[in-house]
Amino acid sequence: MAKRSVNFENITLTAFADTANLTDATYPFLIQGGSGTQRIDIWEISIQGQSTSSAVTYTLLSRDSTVCITNSYGTAQMDAAIDASTAALAAVPLTGNTNTTKPQRSSTLHLLPLSINAFGGFADWKASPYAYPNTIGASASLGEVSFSAFTGGSGIVAGFCIYDVY
Amino acid sequence: MQTKRRFEGYCLVDHSNSPGITNRQLVDNGMPIGVGRARYEAPTILCWHCQAVELVDSGRQKTPPYCSKCDQYICHRCSLVMKLTGECKPFTKVMDEAMELAARGQAVPIFNPGAVNGQAFG
């Protein structure tokens, strides 16, 4: 077990339809397994609006029908272990939002809608210790999830996602 | 005594310092009425078949759909699929099968919980 946090600041979201390429640095994060058998549990997602005027934001956690390839972090986005004594992972999950092959959100596997008005709005979701979404492996459709803005709304946001790696 | 309440997550949406979101915009995006105003707190359930997270909106329902075969709460889509097909396939079984295939180096099939007779539903 190794709880980690992927966090992001001042991301200007772009709204994407399902099965559309997620453009670099316009969505908060994705999480893809570091190996074909790695399991990732998602514990908490928090999003805070940072827009300076009213901006309804339809953010959505969803499995991806197309997974990313060659991942890196965007500006003000990073991933770190929560427990300072955590050992380095042999297979590090991918959590950036900049990729050569862009991920695509699945149209049938949406997991969690978290809509806010990014002008002062805030949303937080915590999983039960007994029931939480997982990813398995690193290939579509179970191996990757992404948190992105759905068609119809976008804003400037910050936040984090806490996840656990097995 | 253990209850199903231990499987509930927690969701907080706070628009106390924000213009908020209209009810029409919320309904169009699959969130319950009232989420876009002031402070909204609700328990959430994780569908045991597809792992979708649903807010338990006490204004419309007090108990989420339930699968008696795996003895767990499920989402409305999986509830409808179960009524149509009678099949119960918990996500834990999907995980086990995926891990087994991955360990053997075989491709994991696309997960499609909303399929009825091979066609996507919902």
Strands A15-16, A144-150: pairing is parallel
Between A54, A113, A142, which is nearest B29 by CB?
Answer: A113
Give pLDDT tens digits for A97-121: 999 999 999 999 999 999 899 999 9
Q: Quick check: A91 contacting B, CB < 8 Å?
A: no
Cβ-Cβ contacts under 8 Å, A58 against chain B: 29
Least confident of A114-123, A139-148, B64-73, B106-115: B106-115
What's the pLDDT at B119?
57
Contact state of A128 with B7 under an 8 Å Cβ cutoff: yes
Q: How far apart are CA A33 and CA A135, in angstroms?
A: 7
**B9 vs B62, residue with greater confidence:** B9
Best of B24, B110, B121 to disrupt the A interface by mutation (most A CBs within 10 Å)?
A: B110
pLDDT surpassing 70 at residue A2: yes
Helices (H), B17-75: 23-28
Chain length of chain B = 122
Containing B38, the helix (H) or strand (E) segment is: strand B38-46
Contact state of A49 with B53 under an 8 Å Cβ cutoff: no
Least confident of A72-76, A86-90, B31-35, B75-79: B31-35
> Integer distance in angstroms from the first to the last C-alpha of chain A?
6
The whole model's pTM is what? 0.91
How much is the average pLDDT of A52-74?
92
What's the pLDDT at A51?
95
What's the pLDDT at B118?
57
How much is the average pLDDT of A124-147?
93
Contact state of A109 with B50 under an 8 Å Cβ cutoff: yes
Q: What is the least distance, in Å, from the CA of A83 to any CA of chain B?
A: 23
What's the pLDDT at B86?
87
DSSP A94: B
Let me know: does A97 contact A73? Beta carbons within 8 Å: yes
Cβ-Cβ contacts under 8 Å, B46 against chain A: 127-128, 131-133
**Whole-number average pLDDT of chain A:** 92
Give pLDDT tens digits for B76-119: 889 998 888 888 989 999 999 988 888 888 888 888 876 665 55
Between B28, B51, B108, which is nearest A137 by CB?
Answer: B108
How much is the average pLDDT of A138-165?
92
3-state secondary structure at position B82: helix
Between B45, B103, B110, which is nearest A141 by CB?
Answer: B110
ipTM, 2 dp: 0.89
Q: Quick check: A127 contacting B, CB < 8 Å?
A: yes
pLDDT surpassing 90 at residue B62: no
DSSP A97: S
What's the pLDDT at A60?
92
Non-local (6+) Cβ contacts of A68 within 8 A are A30, A32, A94, A99, A101, A102, A103, A144
What's the pLDDT at B36?
80
What does each C-alpha distance from A42 to A75, A121, B61, B65, B115 come to in angstroms? Answer: 23, 22, 26, 23, 25
Q: How far apart are CA B13 and CA B118, in angstroms?
A: 37
How much is the average pLDDT of A35-58?
94
Q: What is the least distance, in Å, from the CA of A153 to any CA of chain B?
A: 10
pLDDT band at B121, cuts 50/70/90? Answer: low
Between A108, A121, A137, which is nearest B102 by CB?
Answer: A137
